[in-house]
Amino acid sequence: MMATPRRQLRQLFVAVALLLLWYLAVYSPTKTYIPRHRSNSRPELSDDILNNFSLDEDECSAAFPGLFDSIDEVVSKGVFSLRRTGQMVTGRITDGNIYIMREEKAGDMSNMMIKERAAALHQMSRAILTAPNPIPDILFMLNIHDNPFANSLSYARAADPDQATSAEHHVFTMPHFAYWHWMRLPFINSLANASTQIEAIEESTTFHDKIPKAVWRGTPWFGSPSNVELRKKLLSVTKDAVTGDTLPWADIESLKWENNGQSSSNALPIEDFCKYKYVVYTEGISYSGRLQYHQLCGSVMLTPAISWLQHTTHLVRPVWSSELLRSDENWEIPALRLDGHAPGGGPKHPDPYPNTRALRMWPATKTYSEEEANVVFVAPDWSDLEATIRFLEDHPSVAEGIARRQRETFYGGGYFSPAAETCYWRALIRGWAAVAQRPDGARSDSKGKVIDANGGQKVLDEDEDGFWDTEGTQWELWVLDHSIKPQSPRGSK
């Protein structure tokens, strides 16, 4: 029977209404940089894509949705001026070649730091050499220290908006040197190597067959000024107050260093953390390079609210432990004294958890329910760690879901793959080119052309000592002996 005109009109109205609702749900009239993360139901990426160093910009965006959100956020802050400093590598990219103009003196760096600096530049070089399209010409400042520097490429930036000045907002996070190699410790190795080892563990072990303990290894004194007792408190809450023995739900130990810090008698290979149901993550002076290794695990990661954002940290979907524990009628959310004592020795008033700072870093728009989360944020003094593990043990489907979503996001989504790394580096260079300018106001446009502060074509003039026009030493020569040859300003030869 044919539909009447009225029925056809009603069906059309319903279809249009549904389409409008879908559009409003997907698109926002104002652009924000608080992405709600995509479903992992998209098709699995092939090895041909994950190992392709030469994806173009559109292919990168399609393969790794949301990967560049942290770059876009920094670009949205607007232009900034470069400033010389002796603690960073200053270089240029010209016609697809890297030149080193200034470097931190090797005598001021450890041997490991020198290698880590080289690893970062190797990563940048690989992304440029494999680019399917021309890379913009830029001047860049590259920092390999734990703490970020203003107006630089750094490994992490502060999550707390009140912690950074307006100038420090221009910290572009770059992929960790572990993508190339982790030379410092024999039990870690490169991210790619660890990923292969972890894959074997995950394929042969179900979540419910994993060791039902929380695992951690680390150096107790290595802590952030904002929570200097973080690691010591972790060791304390996992020990029996009378016997000093580790509690049965924990495998938490301070590393026992040997051979002048080159090895440890109780270290675990980084992949073996994935054999446990619960992996504890602690930040160091700032970020910790172990984060991305742990995110490859199909395990529940437990950590205080992350204070330092690395280049993919915006993809985490945290749930507060306090939210999980609300359903436990025997649990009372404690008031915490997070910062010790106020200046002058007087006690601070305890703050509830999550406290004001944690909510600034991770507001409601960046936190999730237990059905969506891929990480659990616990109290920064670990006072609810045992209760959280007990809750997860009592609710195995919740625990398994959080663990599965973590591995689905970071491993299944390919965000740590070779393709994603080179995609990110090229997007990083493009983003930097859009906003980084010389002290005289010149910067590059999207095609690498030098333009002035008013947007017009600029003929470069030498600055006071000609530094910004110095060509520098070609990367391939510099990496052999880490020395910069005397150079004349470009165009003077």
What pLDDT is stored for residue 430 in this prediction?
98
Which of 154-163, 200-209, 437-446 is modeled with the greatest confidence?
A: 200-209
Q: Single out the residue of 441, 434, 300 nearest to residue 375, CA to CA.
A: 300
Question: pLDDT band at 10, cuts 50/70/90?
Answer: low
Express as a percent the part of the chain with pLDDT over 90.
58
The sign of the torsion formed by the CA atoms of 198, 202, 203, 204 equals positive
Tens of pLDDT along 135-155?
A: 999 999 999 999 999 899 999
- Please give the C-alpha separations between residue 323 and each of 218, 296, 380, in angstroms, as whole numbers: 28, 25, 15
pLDDT at 341: 33
Token digits for 471? 């060509």
23-79 pLDDT per residue, tens:
333 333 333 333 333 444 567 899 999 999 999 999 999 999 999 999 999 999 999
Q: How many CB atoms lie within 10 A of CB 28?
A: 9
**Cβ-Cβ contacts under 8 Å for 20 (sequence gap 6 or more):** none
Q: Is 429 left (phi over 0), alpha (psi -120 to 50) or beta?
A: alpha
Could you please report the per-residue DSSP string of 334-395? PEE--S-B-TTSPBPPPEESS-HHHHHHS-GGG---TTT-SEEEE-TT-TTHHHHHHHHHH-
Mean pLDDT score of the chain: 82
| pLDDT band at residue 485 under the 50/70/90 scheme | low
Order the strands of the 276-280 sheet from edge to edge: 250-254, 211-218, 276-280, 300-304, 375-378, 318-320
Q: Does 163 have pLDDT greater than 60? A: yes
* Distances 184 to 78, 188, 220, 263, 408 between C-alpha atoms, Å: 37, 8, 18, 10, 29
Share of the chain above pLDDT 70, in %: 76
- Position 353 pLDDT exceeds 50: yes
DSSP string covering 390-449: HHHHH-HHHHHHHHHHHHIIIIITTTTSHHHHHHHHHHHHHHHHHHEE-TTS-EE-TTS-
Per DSSP, the three-state class of 13 is: helix
DSSP state of 88: S
Instruction: Find the radius of gyration of the CA atoms of the chain.
Output: 25
Q: What does the pLDDT read at residue 9? A: 46
pLDDT attached to residue 4: 56
* 360-415 per-position pLDDT tens digit: 999 999 999 999 999 999 999 999 999 999 999 999 999 999 999 999 999 999 99
Q: C-alpha distances in angstroms, 180 versus 55, 220, 410, 422? A: 19, 27, 18, 12
Name the pLDDT band for 350 (thresholds 50, 70, 90): very low
- Give me the helices (H) in 107-255, please: 111-129, 191-204, 230-237
Calculate the dihedral angle through the C-alpha atoms of 130, 186, 147, 116, rounding to the nearest 10 degrees: -40
Residue 18 in tokens: 């549904």
Say whether pLDDT at 22 is over 80: no
Question: Which pLDDT score, from 0 to 100, does residue 41 have?
Answer: 52
Using CA atoms, how far residue 476 sits from 98, 215, 349, in Å, is 8, 42, 57
Q: Which two tokens stand for residue 366?
A: 């960046």
**Hunting for tokens 């912690």 — which residue is that?**
163
**pLDDT tens digit string along 224-256?**
777 889 999 999 999 998 898 999 999 999 988
Structure token digits, residue 209:
């067959």
pLDDT band at residue 306 using 50, 70 and 90 as cut-offs: very high
Q: Measured between alpha carbons, how far is 268 from 276 in angstroms, rounded to an integer? A: 12
Torsions phi, psi for 457 (to 5 deg): -60, 135
Going by pLDDT thresholds of 50, 70 and 90, the confidence category of residue 420 is very high
Burial of 149 (0-12, 13-18, 19+ CB in 10 A): middle
If you average pLDDT over residues 284-299, what whole number do you get?
Answer: 95
Of 235 and 1, the one with more pLDDT? 235
Q: Is 0.85 surpassed by the pTM of this model?
A: no
Q: What average pLDDT does this structure show over 170-182?
A: 93
111-129 and 418-435 are packed helices; what angle lies between their axes, rounded to 10 degrees? 90
Tokens coding 267? 């270290």
Map residue 83 onto helix, strand or coil.
coil
Pairing state between β 300-304 and 375-378: parallel
Please tell me the distance from the alpha carbon of residue 155 to that of residue 284, in angstroms, as a whole number: 13
Cα-based torsion angle of the residue sequence 444, 449, 450, 454 in order, rounded to the nearest 10 degrees: -80
Residues 6+ apart with CB under 8 A from 301: 278, 279, 280, 281, 294, 295, 375, 376, 406
pLDDT at 264: 62
Tell me what pLDDT residue 31 has: 31
Residues forming beta bridges with residue 258, ordered by sequence position: 263
